Chain A
Amino acid sequence: MNPLKNHDEVLLRQVNPLHMEDGEPSSQAFWPHRDIDEGQLSVDRSTLTTAANAHALFTTAKPNGFGGASEGTWGLTVGECTTEGLSSREDPVAATAATPANPAHAVVDFAAHTKSKRPRTRRNSARSSFG
Chain B
Amino acid sequence: MSIEMKDCPQCGANRIRTTVSICDTCEISNRYEERIDELEKALAKHEARWRLQTVRERLNLLAKAPPGWADGEGLTPAPAVVARAWDVIARLLADCPDIARPKLYPTPEGEVQAEWSTKRYAVEVLFRRTGTIEAVATDLAHVDADDDEESFAANAVDKDDAGRLAVWLRTFLGKADGGRTES
Contact = CB atoms under 8 A, between A and B. Distances in A.
A108 B73 CA distance: 20
Contacts of A19: 105
B73 A28 contact: no
A69 B71 contact: yes
Contacts of B106: 18
Interface string A92-114: 00000000000000000000000
Interface residues of B, number: 28
A68 interface: yes
Contacts of B182: 22
Contacts, number: 63
Interface stretch (A2-10, A46-54, A120-128): A120-128
Contacts of B122: 27, 120, 122-123
Interface residues of A, number: 25
B65 interface: yes
B117 A28 contact: no
Interface in B72-101: 72-73
Contact of A21 (B69, B105, B107): B105
Contacts of A23: 183
A51 B61 CA distance: 27
Contact of B103 (A21, A117, A124): A21
B28 interface: no
B104 A21 contact: yes
A102 to B, nearest CB: 14
